[in-house]
Amino acid sequence: MKELKGRKLILFFGIPFGIGCYFLGNPIFAIITTLIMLGGIDEFYTLSEKKGGHPNRIFGFIITLLIAVSYSGVYVHHQITIMGLICFSVVSVFFIEIINNKEEPLLNISTTFLGILFVPSMLGTIIYIRQMDHIYNSNIVLTLFLSVWLCDIAAFFFGTKWGKKKILPSISPKKSWVGSVSGFIVAVLVFILSYRLGFLGIRYVLFDAVIFGSIAGIFSQLGDFAESMLKRDAGVKDSGDLLRAHGGILDRFDSLLFSSAMIYIHLLIFID
Amino acid sequence: MKELKGRKLILFFGIPFGIGCYFLGNPIFAIITTLIMLGGIDEFYTLSEKKGGHPNRIFGFIITLLIAVSYSGVYVHHQITIMGLICFSVVSVFFIEIINNKEEPLLNISTTFLGILFVPSMLGTIIYIRQMDHIYNSNIVLTLFLSVWLCDIAAFFFGTKWGKKKILPSISPKKSWVGSVSGFIVAVLVFILSYRLGFLGIRYVLFDAVIFGSIAGIFSQLGDFAESMLKRDAGVKDSGDLLRAHGGILDRFDSLLFSSAMIYIHLLIFID
C-alpha cells in the first residue's frame, strides 16, 4: 500500500506540478530542474555517507550549477559529444553493474569513474599540449618533463639535508617545506631557462614561462600528495609492495597528472 | 636509499626514455601516452580492489582509449571547455581532500564524482532536450514525463496482478517481467499517441516516436534498478526511511535520469 500511495502522490501532485513547470518556459524550467539536480545530488551524498564516505557537498553543488549552465546554453552545442559520452558511460556502467550484481556496487561504480577521471582525463591533456607544441614549434611538454623531474629531485635533496618542518606528515611523512619550496624554485628555473634558450618558441613570453614553471612546481607536488593519500587509504604505505609489482606507473606519473592538466587549462583560458 | 634508487632509475632510464618518445613525433607519442594511461588506470583499479571494490577494468580501458582519441584530435577543440572543467574539478577535489585529511579519501572523492555523474550530468540533459523542444516546437520532455510515469504505473498494476517471474529479485524484489513488458508497451504507446496528436511537432517522424518511447520504456526501468541497487548497498532497503526524510527526489527522478540521457544521446547522434 505504501508503494501505491507513493504512486498516487505522483499522479495527483507530481504530474500537475511537472507539467506546470514545463509550461512556465525555458528559464523557470531550467531553474527548477537545477534545484531538483541539487536535491538529487544531496541525496546521493547522503547515501554515500551511509557507506562511510564524506563526499564534498559544496563542490558537488557548484559543479551541478556549472553543468546546468552548460546544458542551458545552446551555444555550447559543440561540447555535447563529451557530455554524450559521459552520459553513455554512466548508463553503461550502471547497466553492467546491475547485470553483474556484485558486492559493493557503489564503491565499484564510483572507483570505476574516479579511475577514468584521475588518470586518462588528466594525463590525456599532455597529448593536447604536445599537439600545440607541434603547431607552434614550442617544447612545453619536454620542458614540463624536465621541470617536474628536477623539482622532485631538488625537493628530495634539499628536503633531506635541511628539511625540518613537515607539510602534512600524516599523508606524506617525508615532505618538508624546505624541500617543497626548493622544488618549486627549480621547476620555475627550468622553464625560464628553457624560454631563454628558445625552446618555448616565439608564441610564449617570459611571463608564460614563469606561469608554466609555477604550475609544474606546485601541481607536481600536489599530485604526489594525492597519490600518497590514495596509497595510505589503500593500506599501501611504502611505494614498494603493490605498485612496484605493477611497474609503478602511477608512482612515476602522479606528479605529471595534475601539472599537465593545469597547464592545459592555462593554455585554454589565457592563450588559445 | 630505496627512494634514492627510484630517483636514479628515473634519471638514467626514465628521462632518456621520455625524451626519446617525445622526439618520435605526435602519433607515437600519443600511443605511448595512451599505453601509460592504460597502465595507470589499471593500477588505480588495483588500489580500489585493495579497498574492496571491483571496478570495471574493461570499461575503464575503453573510455581511456576514447579520451585519448578525443584529446588527439585538434578538431575536437570545441570540447575542451568541458574537459578543462573536468580536469579542474579533479584537481580541486583532491586538493580539498588533502587539506581536510579525512578518513576514507578514496571513497570520499569517488562518491563526490559519482554524485556529479549520476545526477546533474544525466538529469541536466532534460534542459537541453527542453530547449530543442522550444526551437522545434515539439513536446518531447512533456511526453517523456507522461511516458515514464505511466510506464511505472502500468508496470506496477500489471506486475501486481499477473507478474510471477521476477527479473532481478536480489536487487528489486518486486519487479516482474510481465510488469516490465507492460510498462514498456505503455511507454511506447504514449509517445505514439503524442506523435499522432501532433505534440511532437513536424521535426520528428513516427519512427522517432517509437524510438523515444522505447528509450523511455527501457531506460526508465533501468534507472529504477540502478537506484534500488544503490539503496540496497547503502542498507536502505525500503524506500521509506532515508529517502522519504529527504523528500525522495532520487526516488521520484531515478527513472528520468537514464531515459532523458539516452534521448539526449539519440538526438545528438541521429537528429541534430
- Closest partner residue to B127 (CB to CB) among A18, A30, A235 is A30
- Closest partner residue to B84 (CB to CB) among A34, A36, A264 is A264
Angstrom distance (rounded) from CA B149 to CA B167: 20
Block residue for cell numbers 572523492: B109
- In terms of domains, do A189 and A68 share one? no
- In terms of domains, do B191 and B255 share one? yes
pLDDT digits (tens, 9 = 90+) for A132-160: 888 888 999 889 989 999 999 999 999 98
The CA-CA-CA angle for residues B86, B248, A64, to 5°, reads 20
Task: Quote the pLDDT of residue A240.
Answer: 43
Grid coordinates in use for B120?
546533474
Angstrom distance (rounded) from CA B262 to CA B223: 11
Contacts of B142 in chain A (CB under 8 A): 19, 22
- Which residue of chain A comes nearest to B265, CA vs CA? A84
Mutant choice from B112, B158, B229, B256 vs A, greatest count of A C-beta within 10 A: B112
Local structure of A176: helix, strand or coil: strand
Helix A206-233 vs helix A140-162: crossing angle, to nearest 10: 60
What mean pLDDT do residues B78-85 have? 65
Domain residue limits at A217? 123-271
pLDDT at A19 over 60: yes
- In terms of domains, do B127 and B241 share one? yes
ipTM: 0.77
Contacts of B247 in chain A (CB under 8 A): 39, 43
Please indicate, yes or no, if residue A108 is contained in any of the structural domains. Answer: no
- Does this model's pTM top 0.90? My answer is no
- Closest partner residue to A120 (CB to CB) among B41, B106, B156 is B41
- In terms of domains, do A264 and A132 share one? yes
| A265: CB partners within 8 A, 6+ apart | B84, B87, B88
Q: Give the end of a domain, one of A72, A102, A131.
A: A72
Local structure of A143: helix, strand or coil: helix
Looking at the 3D structure of chain A, how many domains does it have?
2
Instruction: Write the DSSP symbol of residue A205.
Output: -
Cβ pair A10:B149 closer than 8 A: yes
| A51: CB partners within 8 A, 6+ apart | A106, A107, B107, B111, B233, B234
Please indicate, yes or no, if residue B118 is contained in any of the structural domains. Answer: no
- Indicate the helix (H) or strand (E) that contains A144: helix A140-162
Please indicate, yes or no, if residue B31 is contained in any of the structural domains. Answer: yes
- In terms of domains, do B63 and B150 share one? no
Contacts of B149 in chain A (CB under 8 A): 10-11, 14-15
- In terms of domains, do A262 and A132 share one? yes
- In terms of domains, do B188 and B85 share one? no
- In terms of domains, do B14 and B85 share one? yes
Cβ pair A72:B127 closer than 8 A: yes
- Closest partner residue to A54 (CB to CB) among B40, B48, B108 is B108
Cβ pair A114:B106 closer than 8 A: yes
- In terms of domains, do A188 and A248 share one? yes
- Which residue of chain A comes nearest to B73, CA vs CA? A128
Cβ pair B37:A111 closer than 8 A: no
pLDDT at B237 over 70: no
pLDDT digits (tens, 9 = 90+) for B195-215: 999 999 989 999 999 999 999
Contacts of B171 in chain A (CB under 8 A): 98, 101
Cβ pair B29:A249 closer than 8 A: no
Task: Quote the pLDDT of residue B192.
Answer: 97
Answer for the pair A55, B102: CB distance below 8 angstroms, yes or no. Answer: no
Angstrom distance (rounded) from CA A177 to CA B24: 38
Please indicate, yes or no, if residue A247 is contained in any of the structural domains. Answer: yes
- In terms of domains, do B241 and B146 share one? yes
pLDDT: which is higher, B264 or A211: A211
- In terms of domains, do A154 and A242 share one? yes
Cβ pair B268:A39 closer than 8 A: no
Burial class for A272, CB neighbours closer than 10 Å (0-12, 13-18, 19+): exposed
- Closest partner residue to A51 (CB to CB) among B26, B30, B107 is B107
pLDDT digits (tens, 9 = 90+) for A31-67: 877 887 788 788 778 877 877 788 887 878 887 787 7
Angstrom distance (rounded) from CA A82 to CA B69: 12
Q: How many other CB atoms are found less than 10 A from the CB of residue A12?
A: 10
Answer for the pair B185, A51: CB distance below 8 angstroms, yes or no. Answer: no
- In terms of domains, do B134 and B264 share one? yes
pLDDT digits (tens, 9 = 90+) for B10-42: 555 555 666 666 666 667 777 877 887 788 788
Cβ pair B43:A225 closer than 8 A: no
Nearest residue to A109 (alpha-carbon basis) of A34, A64, A62, A51 = A51
Mutant choice from A127, A136, A138, A174 vs B, greatest count of B C-beta within 10 A: A127
Task: Quote the pLDDT of residue B239.
Answer: 45
User: Closest Cα of chain A to B47: distance in Å?
Assistant: 6
Contacts of A76 in chain B (CB under 8 A): 81
Is residue A23 very low, low, confident or very high in pLDDT (cuts 50, 70, 90)? low
Burial class for A267, CB neighbours closer than 10 Å (0-12, 13-18, 19+): buried
Grid coordinates in use for B169?
529479485
Please indicate, yes or no, if residue B232 is contained in any of the structural domains. Answer: yes
Angstrom distance (rounded) from CA B116 to CA A221: 26
Contacts of A155 in chain B (CB under 8 A): none
Burial class for A31, CB neighbours closer than 10 Å (0-12, 13-18, 19+): middle
Burial class for B127, CB neighbours closer than 10 Å (0-12, 13-18, 19+): buried
